[in-house]
Chain A
Amino acid sequence: MEHKIINSDVLIIGGGTAGCYAAICLGERSGLSVAVADKADIRRSGCLAAGVNALNAYITDGHKPIDYVKYASKDADGIAREDLLLDISERFNAVTADMERRGLTILKDSSGKYISRGWRNIKINGENIKPILAREVRKQKNIAVYEHVNITDLRTDGRVRGAYGFGINDGAFYEFRARAVLVATGGASGIYRPNNPENLPHQMWYCPFNTGAGYCMGILAGAEMTAFEMRFIALRCKDTIAPTGTLAQGAGARQVNSKGEIYEDRYGLTTSQRLWGTVAENRNGCGPCYLRTTGITADQEESLYRAYLNMSPVQTLKWIDSGYGPSVRDVEIDGTEPYIVGGHTAGGYWVDRERRTTLEGLFAAGDAAGGSPQKYVEIAAEGIIRYLQEYSEYGDSERLNSQAEAKKAEYEHHINSTSGTYTPHQIETAMQKVMDEYAGGIRTDYIYNENGLKLADEKILGLTELIQPAEVSDTDDLLALYEVRERLIVARVLIAHLMARKETRWRGFQENADYPEKKREYECFINSVMRDGKIQIIRKNLVHIGDDQA
């Protein structure tokens, strides 16, 4: 492998929405040199590859940032960092205006005011949100973008000083040397067996290429993680796994069971309760469940066709191909497999208000950051600028050089091994089966118990040992191999977190059958650190903000 060394002040790992926006902020507000590494092409990489059609974090007239903080905190049943939530809520509207200035289309009335969908959402056309962000990144003279480069590990000698990866197309070994690193790799999908495992495993809500890389590299370097047990399970249009918010919040469709009864009110309206209600109705023999869309007008239906083409085109294809649009047939809904995703729940890196992780030199943004179930990345960019005013060294010690050589040798070992026991794909499928059956997947209605988790932990450890001799024939396989390694590490930490929360806090997202009640003593964060391969659990206090402080 050719050894490429890239020096910059800041390395951003991941060029999705978070990574691109952070890069633009650094480009415009500092003279720092920035390298952005992405495993694909930043015009369409990450969660928003297909688009998005609402911004669900906006403070409309008559509301204040603290209202959003309290809403998000309540939705997470109190397990939220209100300090982090307040920081972001105070910036929602300015960042939205900035995105509009850069070319994002937002729905407005005749007087030029945004038209909202509920009190905290506005309607947009975000089909091109990634191409817009990519174009803005390319305008910055101090940013260099490295695409089709997969980062696997941090470069660290106690302080994080860059990262290592390989080129998927050029087959080179990449050593990024930087004074500060921002992890913006998104969350983790593909840990559990998905809805359509046989032929369509990637027919899923979250981006299937967000494999938990950022979590994994931090965990292996000893970073503190939080709230992995607060999993996110999306309530989606059945089979297509297309969004339901556009129908529920946009078109006012209610959740009904097969008898036509509106059931959502019986279970509560938090995000996890909406999911749980659907699971319970199905279990009680009242399924299938639907969003009641029948009776909408022809104009509304046309508008929904366009809305879905701009974010999840498969749903429009299904409506037209089947001959039954949402005006004549209710839309069936179902839960997905669980994900770890800091933008919807609180799982991710434990960060401070500057978005510094517990590792010196490492910051986290977007879905990779934890503690608050919504994210904005401008703050991380500002935190990095302040941090680099104090620190200036790259680090070039013997230790770092031998670390780079060892990592390069590891990649080469995999590429050059001519035969292997199992393929990365086989190991991944086995992992998903274990998590589904023993760690609260779709099969058990997301419920788990301690005995099952112990078995899951043992089996996941066993699967981890199959990675070293796995079959790899090119860099595509090498990518698949590191992706399954990432998922296995995330799965281990997730199991430890599920075990540690000896209560049931968010039925649906986290239901521990051994402890079916909510307990006061668990009004805290469950955090973890991996040391010498062992996971240590730490409790952290909640951070609440009084109305007088906001």
Chain B
Amino acid sequence: MSITINQSKCTGCKNCICICPGNIIRLDAERKAYLKRPSDCWGCLACMKSCPVQAITMMLPPELGGQGGKLSLRTDGHRTEWTVTRSDGTRRTIITDTEEANQY
């Protein structure tokens, strides 16, 4: 799995670099975060959850059946708003809440 960091949004706060369980995000010469070893990404999304400016998204690669849709998220306390933006521009939003247990 692989995430994409939008460098024009990145503020260089290093949250993602710190939290990544694989130590695979680094800061470049312009003090912007970049994925140093893209093929090593597990897709856990710890980085997305830690980013204060929503600069990180995840796209499903074609070999996993991806159609070009992108996943982004915004966390507010125990609530997380997840958005899938499909390649045709349509969106689907789902809210999860860590205070609500899984039903399955």
| Contacting residues of chain A (181-236) with chain B, CB-CB under 8 angstroms | 196, 198-204, 207-209
* Residues in chain A near residue B67, CB distance under 8 A: 321-323
Contact B92 A479 (CB under 8 A): no
Distance between A8 CB and nearest chain B CB, rounded to angstroms: 23
Q: Which of A208, A246, A314, A323 has the most C-beta atoms of chain B within 10 angstroms of its own C-beta?
A: A314
B103 close to A (CB within 8 Å): yes
A240 an interface residue at 8 Å Cβ cutoff? yes
Least CB distance from A550 to B in Å reads 31
A331 to chain B, nearest CB (A): 12
Interface residue tally on A, bucketed by range: 35 or more
For residues 51 through 86 of chain B, which have their beta carbon under 8 Å from a beta carbon of chain A?
58, 60-61, 63-69, 71, 78, 80, 82, 84, 86
Residue A317 is within 8 A (CB to CB) of chain B in the complex: yes
CB-based contact A202/B71 at 8 Å: no
Contact digits for B19-53, partner A, Cβ 8 Å, 1 yes 0 no: 11111101000000000110111111110000000
| A202 and B101 within 8 A (CB) | no
Please report whether the interface of chain A is mostly helix, strand, loop or mixed according to DSSP. Answer: loop
Binds B, one of A25-33, A44-52, A452-460: A44-52
Of listed A44, A46, A240, residue having the most chain B CB within 10 A: A44
Chain B interface SS verdict (over half): loop
Question: Looking at chain B, what size class is its interface with the partner chain?
Answer: 35 or more
Render A497-522 as a binary contact track against B, CB cut-off 8 A, 1 for contact.
00000000000000000000000000
CB–CB B39/A199 < 8 A = yes
Bound: A307/B20 CA distance, A = 22
B100 touches A317 (CB 8 A): no
**Is B102 located at the chain interface by the 8 A CB criterion?**
yes
Whole-angstrom distance between the Cβ of A115 and the nearest chain B Cβ = 8
Q: Contact: A209 with B42, CB < 8 Å?
A: yes
Q: Encode A88-115 as 1/0 by CB contact (under 8 A) with B.
A: 0000000000000000011110000000
Q: Tell yes or no: A54 within 8 A of B by CB.
A: yes
Contact of A320 among B44, B92, B100 (CB under 8 A): B92
Asked if A251 is at the interface of the complex by the 8 Å CB criterion, the answer is: yes
Within the assembled complex, what's the spacing in Å between the Cα atoms of A168 and B21?
12
**Which chain A residues in 448-473 approach chain B with CB under 8 Å?**
none
A residues apposed to B, CB below 8 Å: 39-41, 43-46, 49-50, 53-54, 105-108, 117, 123-125, 127-128, 148, 168, 196, 198-204, 207-209, 239-240, 246-247, 250-251, 302-307, 309-310, 313-314, 316-318, 320-323, 476, 479
Extra pairs beyond A127-B96, A246-B102, A476-B37 (4, CB < 8 Å) = A117-B104, A123-B101, A208-B22, A314-B64
